């Protein structure tokens, strides 16, 4: 019985000292560096048409290396996306989405089935679509 009484008294003392209802604003002092890793930044690129640099929104897309890009296709056709160096991004079906992780600094990309669909990751501006008949 004495042990239960001591434990209960300690619990009450702890609850009262931990702030139960005292109002005065207070400050929080960090106790050391955080051990959690922040989640990588992410963004969504909407595919809204099948022609030109306006087919991607936003364009250019800004995302840090290690960040995720969700490619969301609002059109009725599939798009096969690749970086201009040939690195595949993926195929996004009609009304579907895919998610990729940026593993570098970015660069220009395009749709292989719609050659005028061009975009940029971390560029200053969207690239100009190629002239008609230029299939890369």
pLDDT at 100 > cutoff 50: yes
Residues 62, 122 contacting (CB under 8 angstroms): yes
Reduce the secondary structure of 80-122 to three states and give it as a string: EEEECCCCEEEEECCCCEEEEECCCCCEEEEECCCCCCEEEEC
Q: Is 119 exposed, middle or buried (0-12, 13-18, 19+ CB in 10 A)?
A: buried
pLDDT band per the 50, 70, 90 thresholds, residue 35: low
Question: pLDDT tens digits, residue range 47-93?
Answer: 999 999 999 999 999 999 999 999 999 999 999 999 999 999 999 99
What is this structure's pTM? 0.68
**CATH placement of domain 42-121:** 2.60.40.420
Domain ranges of the chain: 42-121
- Residue 74 and residue 131: Cα distance in Å, rounded? 25
19 DSSP assignment: T
- Residue 47 and residue 114: Cα distance in Å, rounded? 12
């Amino acid at each position: 019985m004495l042990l239960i009484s001591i434990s209960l008294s300690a619990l009450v003392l702890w609850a009262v000292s931990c702030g139960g209802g005292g109002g005065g604003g207070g400050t929080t002092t960090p106790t050391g560096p955080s051990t959690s890793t922040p989640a990588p930044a992410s963004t969504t690129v909407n595919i809204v048409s099948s022609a030109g640099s306006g087919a991607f929104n936003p364009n250019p897309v800004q995302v840090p290396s290690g960040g995720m890009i969700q490619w969301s296709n609002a059109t009725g056709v599939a798009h096969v996306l690749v970086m201009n160096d040939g690195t595949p991004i993926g195929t996004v079906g009609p009304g579907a989405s895919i998610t990729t992780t940026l593993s570098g600094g970015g660069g220009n990309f395009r749709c292989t089935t719609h050659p005028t669909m061009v975009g940029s990751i971390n560029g200053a501006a969207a690239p100009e679509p190629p002239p008609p008949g230029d299939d890369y």
